[in-house]
Chain A
């Protein structure tokens, strides 16, 4: 007898895999973007099932809100792409298939060797709130992850400034609006 959580996991896993396959196989770019959203939502469901509500919500906020909508906007702006049916497979599709199979087999081989994954879900060391608080302090702790965290922040800031520079009008000061 499967428990409700297991049934939920199986349904979510099935949906995630099917939609992930659809992302790469559907001919329309808009549809691919929409399937991608379903895949990302499926991953969010996994996080919920693993008792990581925070990560699930962040997954939706970052991936579906920001990234997926940006992808759809890019697709919308490239009007040609929304109308044309692009050929899905390149000439070397078999090479990619072999590479994917090898990667998959390697991952499975690795996972079966890890002892922690062979048993049931591991018990959490702390309560969910304490873990979350620990994550927060770990990111600003000098002895732990402050350097990766700050590097990532600087990188994002650089990307932000870079995008502003790209969007900056080339000729300045000529016809700037006064009442803008």
Chain B
């Protein structure tokens, strides 16, 4: 029997299972029911979390901008989001003329689904993992892509030029930034030798991967920010250029779903960064009390999420051509080289018996130096070209 204090969730699961089988249900059917229940609880909990996230983000952004933020509804304005939700619910759901009805209504659902689906493979604690599939990393990539589909559908079916432009931008952004994201995701896979999320966290117990592969961690963070479309990559809904982008024709709760998906996605990428590079649930005494893992995981995730908000509050939006050249001329090559360097460093550390941390840090330092040299040469070439053009013209 599992101790209640040590692992309450497995305890509840066991209790329910024995109870349901005692009811006369088939064991196969009980497994199905329990999995359904897990999915329901997880999805609901994650969506409810968004209330807190939106409030927190507004508070932090307000402090960055030297304001107070929401402070009227409830203590510190914590129920502001609930009030906002009530307002959204009462609004009319307007469907534009000429909209493609089925894709138009499907788009918000797909967008929310793709974000909530990501939580299925995130290990919350050593014993709390909603679905232990051995290809978790691939699953994250493919489910994330379905989010692109949702936004594409929204832009396509709204019968609005601005929405279409927003969708085009989204696709350009997401498709191109998934290249460095996948390359950076390969680094934890390479270091842990597995695509399962639980094994990746397990492998980070001695040293978190952010120390072994800092370059990959930063690249993953930047490209997942772009994948989410957060500032400074929020040009898919740049209000000053294309009004509101893909969700311009949505109102009421349908808009609310896009809104929730966006905030939750930002938090989810923080959770992913924490899991893949910061060691997820690992921390002291986590073997004794697995539930402590949840606490460590939330602390790490919150720190990353704070950085996400901080970036949103401090950086201006980048132009679309800057977005493309940043990705294809800078991030993707660095990610490629980072993968090669990590692979070589890992083999060297095993073959030569060097310290793993030292070897990897050395490889990353070499990579950073080489990147800086390449950037310097590029800047010099660009400057000479600019000066000669200025002299000639």
Contact = CB atoms under 8 A, between A and B. Distances in A.
Contact of B138 (A30, A61, A179, A180): A61
A129 B134 contact: yes
A129 B132 CA distance: 13
Given A57-B135, A57-B138, A76-B167, A3 B149 contact: no
A61 B385 contact: no
B135 A69 contact: no
B145 A178 contact: no
Contacts of B171: 69, 73
Contacts of A68: 149
Residue among A53, A60, A65 with the most chain B CB within 10 A? Answer: A65
Given A30-B103, A54-B138, A180-B321, A65 B382 contact: no
Interface in A50-77: 53-54, 57-58, 60-61, 64-66, 68-69, 72-73, 76
Given A58-B138, A76-B156, A179 B382 contact: yes
Nearest to A28: B100
B9 interface: no
A4 interface: yes
Nearest to B171: A73
B219 interface: no
Contact of B145 (A65, A82, A129): A65
A69 B175 CA distance: 9
Consensus secondary structure, chain B interface: helix
Interface in A125-180: 128-129, 132, 177-180
B310 interface: no
A53 B149 CA distance: 22
A58 B157 CA distance: 28
A34 interface: yes
A128 B135 CA distance: 11
Contacts of A60: 142-143, 145-146
A23 interface: no
Contact of B148 (A57, A58, A69): A69
A64 B28 contact: no
A179 B319 CA distance: 12
A4 B27 CA distance: 12
A178 B164 CA distance: 30
A159 to B, nearest CB: 16
A66 to B, nearest CB: 8
Nearest to A70: B175
A64 B133 CA distance: 20
Contact of A178 (B32, B102, B168, B382): B382
Contacts of A180: 321, 325
B375 to A, nearest CB: 14
Nearest to A1: B26
Contacts of B145: 60-61, 64-66, 69
Interface in B43-69: none
Nearest to B195: A54
Interface in B8-45: 28-29, 32
Contacts of B142: 57-58, 60-61, 64-65
7 contacts: A4-B29, A34-B153, A60-B143, A64-B142, A73-B171, A76-B152, A132-B134
